[in-house]
A and B are shown apart, each in its own frame.
Chain A
Amino acid sequence: MKRSLHLFLLLVALCSTVAACGNSSSSSAASTPSSIKINIFAAASLTESFTQIAAAYHQLHPDVTITNNFNGSQLLEQQIANGAPADVFASADMANMMKASNAGLVGDAKVFVKNRLVVIIPVGNPGQIMSLKDLARKGVKIDLEADTVPAGHYSRQALMNMSQSPDFGANYGNSVLANVVSQEENVKAVVQKVQLGEVDAGFVYRTDVTAAVASKVTVLDIPDPFNVIAQYPIAVVKSSANAAAAQSFVDYVLSMAGEGILAKYHFIAVNP
């Protein structure tokens, strides 16, 4: 009898938990919040800059609370397509914004900032790399992103652009690609391996050379004629419950103040 009582109590506890969960979700939907909450879904490369933009925006609009969700643009697009509660989408490439736009998930997208590729080298320079040409030397260990990752795709494009130039020679791109020892899933993994000195050079965005990384790597610029400039578009998500606040945040990102913060993190302003 004692045991059945225990079981009964357990069941009651279980049922009440389930009931409580059910209640909480319905009550939060019914109540109107006194302060506005918006969720920003932003590309991982915007982590540092958007954290600061959110803080700056919150100071101007104390009634608006901002939650940032940073991840690969592709994953963010999938999350929004599957009904994640996003108010603003900031993508690191046009392709994923186009995907969201074609699916009718977002409003008009505007390019708010640009980014360029660089080559980074560990401070000790184990591969003796003095210029971009050295990347084609046999035996050099190079790390870049997989072709499916925007940065990896742009890196290959930049290499092919260089191969068009007589300075580098037609075989340049293929020689460099033959030195690739790994194809990473994201830019930060390339930064990590270069930082640890496991590879001689890696292709990353200029903005990935953050303050924390700057002392551990040397930056080798890729000249603009060969470089592939990444465009970052931003848009309000159509299903947003706070579309006005979301639009106001987007406007702030596009403003002088927003661009100023982004420039601090080595992004290229759209209207210089």
Chain B
Amino acid sequence: MGKKWSYRSAWSARVLVGVLAGTFFLFLGIPLAALLIREPPAMLWISIQQPEVFQALQLSIVTTFFSTLLTVLFGLPVAYVLARTRLPGRKVLEILVTMPTVLPPVVAGVALLITFGRFGLLGRYLSPLGITLPFTTAAVVMAQMFVASPFFVNTARAGLEQLDQRYEAAAYTLRASPLYTFRRVVLPLIRPALLSGAGLAWARALGELGATITFAGNFPGITETMPIAVYTAAESDLESAVALSVVLMAVSFGVLLALRVGRIRAE
């Protein structure tokens, strides 16, 4: 009885996994393909060449580069604190770091406005110094960081938690300094987690719309990123909105693929 049954159950499990996974791939893939086939390639080419589209794409790439860089710079210490220290209230901090993903982006934008706006909690002390953040490119970067950084922090934290601490202990017995150990032992071992976390955060920042348009507004060349340009275009011309989305998808697909290849190399 045993062998026949196990063979059959393995076969049915395989079919089930195949059906469920296949259905899900189609669920994600067909809507994306629908965008792709709606516009002829010539239309896509024309839309990229429009100066305002190029401007929005350029702004998106520059702002997401900085927001991802700053996310890694500030997020890695946060991930380290959450994964390695036994701070009181660490669980609360963990939840706090995840909150921006739960918040509707528009609300995140309002939160930033009432904090950093010219009458905001902190902003009112900045404006006498001549610093106003809303409607600036810096505000775009801040909105992206606020919404996207949890993806990096949580992935980096998981990577650090899974890392066997004996590697570090071994380095310390060889009298390596903490900084040296982090740079030469820990960092290379968690590199795949960092890269995938940075990739996720970057992708989320690239698609960011609600918080950006609320906190930074929409002005071509200063705060109008690709998603906002798509949203504006959809207001009057659905076809060009679709074309712009395809451009955005192509760019992000390329970058995410490059990161994936980089990760495989790292492993």
Contacts and interface: CB of A to CB of B under 8 A. Distances in A.
Interface of A: 1, 3-4, 7-8, 10-11, 72, 74, 78, 124, 126, 141, 143, 146, 148-149, 180-185, 189, 192-193, 196-198
Nearest to B5: A1
Contacts of A74: 235-236
B119 A4 contact: no
Given A3-B13, A11-B16, A78-B238, A183 B219 contact: yes
Contact of A146 (B114, B118, B216, B232): B232
Given A74-B236, A181-B217, A182-B135, A4 B9 contact: yes
Interface residues of B, number: 27
B12 A7 contact: yes
Interface of B: 5, 8-9, 12-13, 16, 110, 113-114, 117-119, 134-135, 213-214, 216-219, 223, 231-233, 235-236, 238
Contact of B135 (A4, A72, A181): A181
B217 A146 contact: no
Contacts of A180: 219
Given A143-B217, A146-B218, A148-B236, A197 B119 contact: yes
B150 to A, nearest CB: 25
B214 A189 contact: yes
7 contacts: A4-B5, A146-B235, A148-B233, A182-B218, A182-B219, A192-B110, A196-B114
A149 B219 contact: no
Contacts of A72: 235
B12 A4 contact: yes
A182 B134 CA distance: 10
Contacts of B235: 72, 74, 146, 148-149, 185
A198 B219 contact: no
Contact of A185 (B117, B216, B218): B218
Nearest to A181: B135
Contacts of A78: 238
B87 to A, nearest CB: 35
A193 B217 contact: yes
A78 B13 CA distance: 43
Nearest to B123: A198
A7 B219 CA distance: 55
A198 B13 contact: no
Given A4-B9, A180-B219, 13 more contacts: A4-B5, A10-B16, A74-B235, A126-B118, A143-B217, A148-B232, A148-B236, A181-B135, A182-B216, A183-B218, A184-B217, A185-B231, A192-B110
B232 A182 contact: no
A69 B173 CA distance: 68
A42 to B, nearest CB: 18
Tell me which of B214, B218, B219, B238 has the highest count of chain A C-beta atoms within 10 A of its own C-beta.
B218
Nearest to A78: B238
B176 to A, nearest CB: 48
Contacts of A185: 213, 218, 231-232, 235
